[in-house]
Structure 1
Amino acid sequence: MATTHASEVGQSKPFGSSDDLWFHRRHFAGVTTVQIMVPMLVCFLAWRIYLGDWQITDVYVAFALIAFQPFTEWLIHVGILHWKPRKIAGVPIDLHAAKKHRGHHLDPNDVPQIFIPLFDLATLIIGVGVALIVLLPRPELMVTGAVVGTALALTYEWTHYLIHTAYRPKSQWYRAIWRSHRLHHYRNEHYWFGVTNNIGDRVLGTNPDKTDVPASDTARTLGVDTPAT
């Protein structure tokens, strides 16, 4: 039987309505990862209110997480999601998140592949939780970090989902990130890594003018031509 390679896989049509935002909100609310993160956010927020003892350091933690978020998004996209299979000390290494992301590039409009996979969401929650415990000196600050981090993750999921649907931009801000992310998928995968904003791309030099960048032959496969599954 002939092998179907990544570059031969078809693409789905954009999902849903081009102008009905409530349609997309309803669909988004039914996604498993969203149904996990929304209760998490509510619980973390209630916990933080219960703990009290608000200090200026809570503002510092929230500000730091929000300010660094564009670069966190950029680093995860470049270093993890675009990881290529390789051998380290003779051992083949691939990342679950990278495998799933390659599937997303093959068919960007396939809705289930837009969202963070459950395994990777669990890994992210554990990793961020450990980092908050290690880096922050007070339980109150840890929970503040959890509130802001969960809110940022939900913002990422919503923005990424909406970009890949049939919904068309209405605001200038959304139009800019919609255009940039589509260039990442359909023009050249080596640029435009931001999803919720393009600050990281602007600072780190991956936000060129479209006309300055050649169309890439590997925007769909990310240079990894594995059999489609």
Structure 2
Amino acid sequence: MSAKDSTITGNQFAAADSPTTLRAAVGVFMSYRSPQILAALAGASLVLRVFLGPLSALDLLVAATPILIWPFLEWFLHRYLLHLRPVEVFGWTLDFDFARKHRIHHQQPWRPEHIFLPVYVHATLAPVLTLGAFWLLPQPGLAATWMAALAGMTLLYEWTHFIVHSRIKPRSAFAQKLFQNHRLHHFRNEHYWYSFTVPQVDAMFGTAPDATDVPRTPTCRTLEYGEAEAGTDRAA
């Protein structure tokens, strides 16, 4: 973690400590490793694309692919991977790290260090995806375009997830919907509202009911796996 991280971690961090302005939010956001890695990857991919020659219509098509797929991918990953329960396999409890950390995020939703993707996700997937893009796409420039778009969408996801856990007041109707849906997921019923960047995806998959039609579950903050840690901020 950066020096900034050390000043806002721990059970003392509460909703009242989260940023209230976009300027402050950007500063906190960019002090964490995952946004730094994604910004660097997106920037490096764009620079490489410019170096490799002029853009073509194919670049637009290639860039559109991760942009269009991402909102559905994040819904799927949130619904089926981040909410995975521990399972018993031959007497051993199998509990994936990403699912365990997501449970901690539900327990302590205002703490930024539980919001962002772990560094090992980037260290594992970035090389694989980069090599795959340069191998599968017919031109190196198209591979750089694809990586820039993918890194940009992942960075947008990280920003959106971070900002809805801040005290910033959303102004547009779209932003208000983002904030409302994600907070309903955390504080009303964890079985709905899985989207991060495009709330309409929940409507497409039937996970965006009227909030008054679903019960408030007692497991929103624990995801059914025990009580939240001592000292956890419980502000809604």
Do Structure 1 and Structure 2 share a fold, with TM-score over 0.5?
yes
C-alpha change, 1:91 and 1:129, in structure 2 (3 Å) is farther
Matches of 1:68 and 1:90, distance apart in 2? 38
**1:168 equivalent in structure 2:** 169
Asked if residue 122 in structure 1 is aligned to residue 85 in structure 2, the reply is no
Contact kept, 8 Å, 1:187 with 1:216, in 2: the verdict is: yes
Contact kept, 8 Å, 1:96 with 1:120, in 2: the verdict is: no
Matches of 1:152 and 1:66, distance apart in 2? 6
**2:142 equivalent in structure 1:** 141
Unmatched runs of 5 consecutive residues or more in structure 2? 1-10, 231-236
**2:187 equivalent in structure 1:** 186
Contact kept, 8 Å, 1:16 with 1:23, in 2: the verdict is: no
Asked if residue 73 in structure 1 is aligned to residue 66 in structure 2, the reply is no
Matches of 1:135 and 1:206, distance apart in 2? 35
Larger displacement relative to structure 2 (31-40 or 119-128) = 119-128
% same residue: 34
Matches of 1:226 and 1:131, distance apart in 2? 42
**2:84 equivalent in structure 1:** 83
Superposed CA deviations along residues 199-226 of structure 1, whole A, max 9, x for unmatched, are 3211111111101111112111112227
Normalising to structure 2: TM-score of the pair? 0.84
Matches within 5 A, 1:190-205: 190-205=191-206
C-alpha change, 1:85 and 1:11, in structure 2 (3 Å) is farther
**2:213 equivalent in structure 1:** 212
RMSD: 2.3
2:27 maps to amino acid: R
Contact kept, 8 Å, 1:14 with 1:164, in 2: the verdict is: no
Normalising to structure 1: TM-score of the pair? 0.86
Superposed CA deviations along residues 39-85 of structure 1, whole A, max 9, x for unmatched, are 21111100011112533222112112111111011011112111111
Moved over 4 A (4+): 88-91, 226-229
**2:18 equivalent in structure 1:** 16
2:140 maps to amino acid: P
SS of residue in 2 equivalent to 1:87: strand
Unmatched runs of 5 consecutive residues or more in structure 1? 1-8
C-alpha change, 1:182 and 1:11, in structure 2 (3 Å) is farther
1:16 maps to amino acid: S
